[in-house]
Amino acid sequence: MDTMRLRQVIAAGALAFLSACAGACGAGGAAAESTGGEPAPAAGSAGSDSTAALVAMIRQAAVPITGGERDYDPLMAMIGDARFVLLGEATHGTHEFYAERARITRRLIEEKGFTGIALEGDWPLAERVHHFARGRGSDPAAAQALAGFRTRFPQWMWSNAEIAELVNWLRAYNERAPATARVGFYGLDVYTLYESAEAVEAYLAGVDAEAARAARGRYACFDRHGGNVHAYGRASAADSAAGCRAQAEQQRQEMERRYAALPAGAPDSATGALFSALRNARVVENAEEYYRTLYAGGASTWNLRDRHMAETLEQISAHLARQGRPAKVVVWAHNTHAGDARASRMADAGELNLGQLVRERFAGETFLLGFTTYTGTVLAATAWGQPGRVRALRPALPESYPGLFHRAGVPAFILPLTGTGALAQALATPRPERIVGVVYLPDTERQSHYFTSMLSRQFDAVVHVDTTRALTPLR
């Protein structure tokens, strides 16, 4: 979100969610949850005894992660036949979160037939990676395919060595897999108004010159703002006549008609290219609303963004089914998107998120996995738009969820939360949860990076790695 919106949220007493969450969702790092949850109980008090009992339950339920091949056998059993698995992260700059999600993702693909990886990133930038992973395009290696992510802040969020390793693995997997088992790589986010408009025009130019001219005429409405989405947002918020909503909607409807008219048995390359153009047209339409709303105020841009991500995920699933591939997708996103917003103070502020929407729409087919850490290093900026640096991550608050997990004394573990009886009930008591996005402000740690949640309702399970280290960005 933009700094102006951030200040509005803080003034209204909303959550740290909206500042410390996703790659481009937070322009600052301050939060409104200033108390950070209930205080730690005093030593020797009844509260201290109950905390010790809770730590003992956590230690007993924890499934250690050792680096072995069978570490995630219990998790695979928990996931069962779920079609949507959302993998969170407590920061956007932690090596272990990316590495462990990659291990889980590979097993979901190999053992459970998942055919889509969707991430909290932009559609046209992810499409370049998709082409590489499917053996198309001109990029010789994953690092080059990820180069598009290096043109936008935060560059390290997807352009890093950990993602490059996964994408190289994905290409090798697709080369040996049958057509119906090949895996796609998709972006869920809403920010690329101008890039997506260009992609729609480029697609049409290759198949229908007249339709391409019509699209160019519609999208010309945006040209007066010089490719600056914030200039467009300010102008359209101040004067509705300056808006381009109708034109963006018309073009999206045109792309929907084309996609619906595809004949049965159309080649995968043709359906995939048109589907991508359709999603780009939808990005233009929703990005127009996002940036206009950002400056107009009132409605929640957070809700617009997460609704767009949920819709895109649902459409990816439907497209995979249309191609005769298993409609099973694994999602990589921050905990603030991947967890269920109804289990936090976020709901009190009228905010929803991707995890909630997917749970609601696909009850019984969704699994939400959170990730936490206690201390270590993290790759993060000191302010929005600044370079990412390796920063020391302060030890988590003792009363927070990662503080409890640290006391369990297990270096890394999976903690089942669904169906765990007394443990699940205890972890449904509101506590502080730490969230670090692309900006980290350790001097205001409690105010900037904690919000209150009920963990066992927010996630089906959690992976905790006690000491973690920073991501390795691609240069």
Judged against a pLDDT cut of 90, whether residue 85 lies above it is answered with yes
Tokens 């990820």, located at residue: 146
Judged against a pLDDT cut of 90, whether residue 23 lies above it is answered with no
Residues 6+ apart with CB under 8 A from 51: 41, 404
CB atoms inside a 10 Å sphere around CB 212? 17
Query: What does the radius of gyration of the chain's CA atoms come to, in whole angstroms?
Result: 22
Judged against a pLDDT cut of 90, whether residue 49 lies above it is answered with no
Tokens 């909290």, located at residue: 120
Average pLDDT, whole number, for the chain? Answer: 90
pLDDT tier, 268 (very low <50, low <70, confident <90, very high otherwise): confident
In the chain, count of helices (H) and strands (E)? 20, 11
Q: What is the pLDDT of residue 47?
A: 60
Burial class (CB in 10 A: 0-12, 13-18, 19+), 363: exposed
Please answer whether residues 1 and 302 qualify as being in contact, where contact means their C-beta atoms are separated by less than 8 angstroms. Answer: yes
Q: What is the mean pLDDT of residues 374-395?
A: 97
Cα 156 to Cα 161: distance, rounded to the nearest angstrom? 9
- Parallel, antiparallel, or unpaired for β 389-393 and 329-332? unpaired
- Most distant CA pair in the chain: distance in Å? 78
Q: Please, where are the H alpha helices in 362-433?
A: 401-407, 422-426
Single-letter code of the amino acid located at 76: M
Cα 238 to Cα 255: distance, rounded to the nearest angstrom? 30
Judged against a pLDDT cut of 90, whether residue 453 lies above it is answered with yes
Q: What is the pLDDT of residue 286?
A: 98
Q: pTM here? A: 0.91
Please answer whether residues 305 and 336 qualify as being in contact, where contact means their C-beta atoms are separated by less than 8 angstroms. Answer: no
Percent of the chain scoring above 70 in pLDDT: 90
Judged against a pLDDT cut of 60, whether residue 25 lies above it is answered with no
Query: SS3 for 208?
Result: coil
Cα 348 to Cα 328: distance, rounded to the nearest angstrom? 32
Q: What is the pLDDT of residue 274?
A: 97
| Each residue's pLDDT tens digit, 395-423 | 999 999 999 999 999 999 999 999 889 99
Judged against a pLDDT cut of 90, whether residue 341 lies above it is answered with yes
Single-letter code of the amino acid located at 221: C
Judged against a pLDDT cut of 90, whether residue 269 lies above it is answered with no
Judged against a pLDDT cut of 80, whether residue 12 lies above it is answered with no
Q: Tell me the CB-side half-sphere exposure of residue 347, using CA atoms within 13 A.
A: 13
Taking CA atoms, 269 is separated from 85, 179, 274, 276, 323, in Å, by: 26, 11, 9, 11, 10
Closest CA to 123 of 309, 326, 293, 332: 309
